[in-house]
Amino acid sequence: MRSVSPRLVLPVLSLTVLIAAVFWLQPRAMSYVGINLLFNLAVPIALATVAQMIIIMVNDIDLSMGAFVSLIACITAAILPTDPALGIAMLVGCVLVYAALGALIEIRQLPAIVVTLGMSFVWSGAAVLILPSPGGTAPVWLTAIMKAKPPFVPVAIIASVLIATVAHLIVMRSSFGVKLRALGGNARAVSRSGRSTVLLRASAYGLAGIFAMLAGMALVGLTTSGDANIALRYTLLSIAGVILGGGEFTGGRVSPVGAVIGALTLTLAGSFLSFLRLSPDWQIGAQGAILILVLAARLVVRQAEKRS
Amino acid sequence: MTCKGLLLTATTIGLLLGTQTMADTADKKIALSNNYAGNSWRQAMLESWKRVTDKAVADGAVASADAFTTAENQATEQAAQIQNMILQGYDAIVVNAASPTALNGAIKEACDAGITVVSFDGIVTEPCAWRVKVDFVKMGRDEVEYLAKRLPEGGNLLEIRGLAGVSVDDEIHAGIEEGVKANANFKIVGSVNGDWAQDVAQKAVAGILPSLPEIAAVVTQGGDGYGAAQAFAAAGRPTPIIIMGNRQDELKWWGEQRDANQYETMSTSIAPGVSTLAFWVAQQILDGQDVPKELTVPFLSVTQDTLDQALKDTPEGGVTNVDYSQDDAKKVIAGSK
């Protein structure tokens, strides 16, 4: 457990600084409605980030996250409301395909980056087939959940805490999570201890698929309608979120709570720049600068740790 | 107003910018949410917005009219942008949307917060928002009708379509088909995708030309006429009537051909200044006017007579543009009731 808390210090710090800056720039945001508006679109990003984190945890990287979330969004908006049985079957099917991809990558020892890049085109194509032009409607219950107005705490905050808690319990506290992290840290050791690496990698991908599915559904709950290109940005956002949240590309070293915080930070950075009235030409660069700043700070912290 | 000559050819006749100040909306703040700024059309759109709104703010028609463009052309990012605008306390949001549906959640949030939302060009389907629409079907029909006047005996048509899978392409195509059905002596003998880009159109037309009989006219969607002309010239075939789309390179070529051999055609497209029409529509709604939810934008056409004026007003590499005034908006509103 000792390795967890320092990993979280920096993400928490950057989020706190950003929240303070946003509230200072836009006091109106400091309210129930304001906080919900600031963070509700971070919920699907947080789910996608946790999904990406699970893939990064087993030493892979998923370049199809955005396309997969878009496909789920299309299924949720176009098929789930009219034919729930078929919709659920398709969603489950998608998760199973994800798990199968994990098995394929392990059995054939393929580079995940290539497999997922290829699959991103398959997911995108399937999304266009299901929803050729933007449309569809979110199932009523889904919109009701995402737009709920619970007393005192906005649903965006409740959802973020819930996602972080569930991901933390699965990844850091369960024996299943320990095995997955071991697979990322030292696959050979896992294999020698008699565990099936194929089964483990497949279940890691399946778990990531479930989180990505929830991301797509949450997104449709917010937008109330689907579009085949709705979440393409999530691929890079989710990777950035994991790294921002204290995760590392070298397998096994991740932080689920950090990943959720990373996703919130990324979302908030966009709002911050918008409130600053920075010219759009500079915004994308400024977003990158924030990322580099946080990562540089992390390097400095780690160097200091090593020296002490 | 530098393009008075052009204004006359737009379906509404433009008057000079209304100078009377609207006391009722003097303290209102309007924001532009734009999803993309990466081509000449969008750049012209943003320039029009700045030109017209700066004057409107100076005249006291509104308190402010800030333009925001998302860094990446992504619906989720624009949804976040709109939610930020709600927090910033704008009274109206004018939006050119990345997706007709994916912003609906954020737009509904804005409506629920009492904000007027007007979408244009890239319109949204959320019922609480106003839509300043372009009748692209009519644009396709008008092209064939113009040709019917020029070529009473009919002839073979080559159709250049836009980007496959985009609704604008489907609508213009549907209009052209309608027009051909109504004028039975025209026949579409070939169809290619030009993606609204001159180089793509040139390659596509050059590829299909050898298999085609004599072509009387080319129906297009804009941004593809110059490429088509180059392909015909390269193949050594007689130049048909090519409908143009208000791009500067197209108009320049047309001007050269006219001077050399009395070449005649027409050019039509949607003016980037439609952003300013949406701005005035939002202002009218804030002013308490009764405005229908669906408004139709007039096209901006260039004819043989207005070609010189259009060439003079259109910047190198740009698109023919027109800034709309408050009176234009009032006319469009009255015409849609």
The interaxial angle of helices A256-275 and A4-25, nearest 10 deg, is 20
Q: Measure CA of the first residue to CA of the last residue in chain B; give whole Å.
A: 28
pLDDT exceeds cutoff 70 at B231: yes
β-pair type (B300-302, B267-269): antiparallel
Q: How many CB atoms lie within 10 A of CB A64?
A: 25
Nearest-CA distance B11 → chain A (Å): 30
* Averaged confidence pLDDT in chain A: 90
Chain B closest-CA separation from residue A223 CA (Å): 4
Contact B194, B204 (CB under 8 A): yes
- Please give the distance of CA A297 from its chain centroid, rounded to a whole number: 23
Select from B178, B132, B70, B127 the least CA-distant residue to B332: B132
Confidence band for B14, pLDDT divided at 50, 70 and 90: very low
Chain A residues lying within 8 Å of B101, measured CB to CB: 134-136, 223-227
- Percent of chain A residues topping a pLDDT of 70: 98
Q: Does A227 touch chain B (CB under 8 A)?
A: yes
B252 token code pair: 């320049």
Nearest CA in chain B to A36: B83
- The mean per-residue pLDDT over the stretch B214-241 comes to 93
Q: Is B64 at the interface with chain A, CB within 8 A?
A: no
Per CB-CB distance under 8 Å, the chain B contacts of A136 are: 101
Interchain contact A34–B (C-beta under 8 A)? yes
DSSP letter at B319? B
Tell me the DSSP string of A69-113. HHHHHHHHHHTTTT-HHHHHHHHHHHHHHHHHHHHHHHHHT--HH
Asked if B256 has any chain A CB less than 8 Å from its own CB, the reply is no
DSSP tag of A172: I
Two structure tokens written together for A43: 């919920």
Direct distance between the N- and C-terminal alpha carbons of chain A, in angstroms, rounded to an integer: 20
Distance between CA atoms of A54 and A209, rounded to whole angstroms? 10
pLDDT tens digits along A175-210: 999 999 999 888 888 889 888 999 999 999 999 999
Kindly report the number of other CB atoms within 10 A of residue A177's CB atom: 20
What DSSP character marks residue B21? -
Q: Where are the beta strands (DSSP E) in A150-302?
A: none
CB–CB of B212/B156 below 8 Å?
Answer: yes
Q: Is the confidence metric ipTM above 0.90 for this complex? A: no
Question: Under DSSP, is residue B92 helix (H, G, I), strand (E, B) or coil?
Answer: strand
Give the residue from A227, A155, A140 showing the smallest Cα distance to B97.
A227
- Range with lowest mean pLDDT among A219-223, B88-92, B112-116, B165-169: B165-169
Per-residue pLDDT at B22: 46
- Mean of the per-residue pLDDT values for chain B? 88
- Residue B79: which of A223, A229, A280 has the nearest Cβ? A223
- Binary contact (A225, B101; C-beta < 8 A): yes
Q: What domains appear along chain A, each with residue ranges and CATH number?
A: 4-303 (1.10.3470)
Q: Is A229 on the interface with B (CB under 8 A)?
A: yes
| B296 bridge partner residues | B133
More confident call, A305 vs A303: A303
What six digits make up the tokens of B294?
């669906």
Strands B294-297, B217-219: parallel, antiparallel or unpaired by DSSP? unpaired
Distance CA A123, CA A113 (A): 15
Tell me whether residues A29 and B68 touch, CB distance under 8 A: no
Determine the pLDDT at residue A3: 47
- Residues ≥6 apart with Cβ < 8 Å to B281: B118, B130, B132, B291, B295, B329, B332, B333
Residue of B88, B100, B105 with shortest CB distance to A275: B88
Q: What distance in Å separates residue A71's CA from the closest CA in chain B? A: 14
Predicted pLDDT of residue A307: 79
Model confidence band, residue A278 (pLDDT cutoffs 50, 70, 90): confident
- Please judge whether A226 and B88 are an interchain contact, meaning their C-beta atoms are less than 8 angstroms apart: no
pLDDT digits (tens, 9 = 90+) for B74-91: 888 899 999 999 999 999
Give per-residue pLDDT as tens, A279-291: 766 777 887 887 7
CA dihedral A56, A61, A66, A69 (to 10 degrees): -60
pLDDT of residue A280: 66
pLDDT of the residue at A304: 81
Q: What is the pLDDT of residues B30-52, one digit of tens each?
A: 999 998 877 778 888 999 999 99
DSSP state of A173: I
Per-residue model confidence as pLDDT tens digits over A129-172: 998 878 888 999 999 999 899 988 999 999 999 999 999 999 99
Enumerate residues 6+ apart whose C-beta is below 8 A from B182. B141, B144, B145
pLDDT digits (tens, 9 = 90+) for A37-79: 999 999 999 999 999 999 999 999 999 999 999 999 999 999 9
Q: Say whether residue B1 is in contact with chain A using an 8 A CB cutoff.
A: no
Of A227, A234, A287, the CB nearest to B99: A227
**Is residue A170 a contact partner of residue A207, using CB atoms and an 8 Å limit?**
yes
- Is the separation of the CB atoms in A245 and A260 below 8 Å? yes
- pTM surpassing 0.90? no
Distance CA A83, CA A102 (A): 29
User: How far is residue A216's CA from residue A45's CA, in Å, rounded to a whole number?
Assistant: 9
Rounded Cα distance, A245 and A243, in Å = 5
Domains of chain B (ranges, CATH numbers): 4-121+270-301+320-336 (3.40.50.2300), 136-269 (3.40.50.2300)
- Does residue B281 register a pLDDT over 60? yes
- Residue pairs between chains A and B whose CB atoms are closer than 8 Å: 103
Report residue A116 CA to chain centroid gap: 16
> How many angstroms away from the CA of A31 is the closest CA of chain B?
10
- Closest by Cβ to A233, choosing from B72, B88, B125: B72
Q: Count Cβ atoms within 10 A of the Cβ of residue B90 and give its class: 0-12 exposed, 13-18 middle, 19 or more buried.
A: buried
Q: Look-up: residue for tokens 């800030």?
A: B66
Nearest beta carbon to residue B87 from set A26, A225, A287:
A26
